[in-house]
Amino acid sequence: MDKYIKLQSNQSEFSSTANICDFHIPAGDVYELRDSFVNFVFNIDVVETETTSGVGVYNMGLQWVTTDPEKPKFFNSALVRDCRMSAANKGQLESIRRVDLLSQARQTYDKSWGEAKSESYLSAAQVPDPMNAQKYSIYRQFNKTGVDKSINNNNVGVMVRLGDLMEVCEAPEYDTMKTGSTDIHFRLNLDKIEPVLNMPDANVGPVEVKTFARIPENTTGPINQITLGPDTAVAGAPLEIRDLRQVPYYTGMKVLLTAVDSTGAASLADVPQTIKEIIWNKNDNVANSSGTYSLVFENAWGTARGAGESYTAIKVKCPAALGSAGTTIASQTAKLVLAEAVLKRVASPQGLDKLEYHTFDTIQSSGNSQDNFHDVQIIAPESDNLLMTFQDGADGLVSKNSQLASYQLSVDNVPQTDRLVDKDSPLDYDRKFHTFQRLSGGLHNLTANAGNTQDYAWATTYSDAKFNSTIVASPLPSSDRPKQLQLQINAPGGGVGQYALFTSLPRELVF
């Protein structure tokens, strides 16, 4: 039976500057690398402004560091900036600089929205659910009903498939008895990752799910429970909840409670409270109580109501982000505490004679903002595909150049197209299609937008112009000698700035 084994990294301390991560795989076993991955375990810690109302569980996740208020949806593989893999008996198998740029661009075009969304249970960076605009982190275990408190789960790793970084790791069998011991080296983007509160109050709606029914006269106290519903003059007419996806609450959630005391003695204004229990009468068929939904807090917030006394205008605010008005977060930190390789060991290998794959050469340069950009690069004779990314955005990750209008590539003075290729023209899509067909089997997302994790409206999540991806892609002819690659790019109004040029190189690993 196949088994998974774990290997811890050579390093045990990580930071934004201590960002090297190495793994040593001893010789002696056969591994299915296409089902193997690396787990990067982050601790996301929150210090609260107060804990007298209870210790809260905050819906914390990770986001990409950028000066823009909008934040790009990054694939897990973007955590790795550079990677290298070598074997004792075979030498260097792959070495790719700026694999974060390459993998982000490839997966943006490789994966449809549906495919990307179906992987949310693995994603460090989340986009909102298309049905209810809610977003929950993989770093918390949420309980949306009952008394069991939600959990700060800091043992969940961000899974990065080795095959998303290096194509040699798509191997169905990798025989270390023949390759010898293997070393994998990563340089990580730890300085590009920061904690973020998902679903802050400003992004939670509609208003009905934050409005609660009044506490009527002659209610015994102390009072620590509220029920969703309009603030009617009588106690009835609760808001019916038919699906827990309608509401944003979970046990352990810290909220701010507001209520008006009719006596004027005990009104509350944004008082912190922690949810101890959620009571959902899903199957209650009693009149006026079917689907009722109530929050029970750890501490009593109200006193008994006598004749003619009540609490009205009861409202709840969900947690606010650090730095926002009314926040209960004093500080938040994210730290990588563990990196481990999870390898699938094959019990009954079939045996491979050789493995064919692609690796990539990387050239990074600047176009110095030239509107009519020309450049010549010497590339390897076996280069058979080209993918060019642009780093014009503040995030430095998404391939962006909104000025690019047309381009043409030539190899050894031979144009690869009979005319300039206009951006988003049929010929441009043809070039991309043939490139991705040769590299990964197809082109599945022509919207080519990375997605904005701070947009909670699904209709516009993938339409923010800041994250529109622009690439130049083309197949290349093979040669028996180094080739001259000539680039001509027309980008009026801004030109070409920083760019990365990736050329794919076919390789063969003989066992």
Q: Which domain, by its residues, includes 72?
A: 3-200+334-510
Domain identity same for 16 and 131: yes
Whether residue 15 lies inside any domain: the answer is yes
The verdict on residue 329 lying in a domain is no
233: Cβ contacts below 8 Å, ≥ 6 apart: 214
Assess whether 116 and 248 both reside in one domain: no
User: Considering 317, 344, 379, which residue would you say is the last residue of a domain?
Assistant: 317
Report pLDDT digits (tens) over 173-203.
Answer: 999 999 999 999 999 999 999 999 999 999 9
Alpha-carbon distance values, 29 to 4, 101, 169, 261, 345 (Å)? 12, 32, 15, 71, 7
Closest residue by Cα to residue 277 from 54, 505, 19: 54
Higher pLDDT, 262 or 82: 82
How many helices and strands, by DSSP H and E, does the chain display? 5, 29
Pairing assessment for the beta strands 140-141 and 20-25 based on DSSP bridges: unpaired
Asked if residue 325 belongs to a domain, the reply is: no
Q: pLDDT tens across 367-383, in order?
A: 999 999 999 999 999 99
Query: Based on the domain organization, do 493 and 366 belong to the same domain?
Result: yes
**Does residue 226 share a domain with residue 191?**
no
pTM: 0.93
**61 and 139 both lie in a single domain:** yes
Give yes or no: residues 196 and 282 share one domain.
no
User: Do 193 and 248 have their domain in common?
Assistant: no
| 155 inside domain | yes
Q: Is pLDDT of 457 > 60? A: yes
**Beta-carbon-side half-sphere exposure of residue 488 (alpha carbons within 13 Å):** 14
Question: How many structural domains comprise the chain?
Answer: 2
**In this structure, is residue 322 part of a structural domain?**
no
Both 160 and 27 in one domain: the answer is: yes
| Same domain, residue pair 26 and 125 | yes
Same domain, 32 and 158: yes
* pLDDT at residue 301, rounded to an integer: 93
Is 328 part of any domain?
no
pLDDT confidence of 384, banded at 50, 70, 90?
very high
CA distance 225 to 213: 11
Q: Which of 262, 291, 317 is at the close of a domain? A: 317
Mean pLDDT, the chain, integer:
93
Are 355 and 447 within one domain? yes
Mean pLDDT confidence for 490-509? 95
Q: Domain for residue 413, yes or no?
A: yes
Q: How does pLDDT run across 33-55, given as a tens digit for each residue?
A: 999 999 999 999 999 999 999 99
| Lookup: tokens for 136 | 């929950």
Last residue of a domain, one of 257, 287, 317: 317
Whether residue 115 sits in one domain with residue 262: no
CA distance 476 to 504: 9
Examine residue 434 and state whether it is found in any structural domain, yes or no.
yes
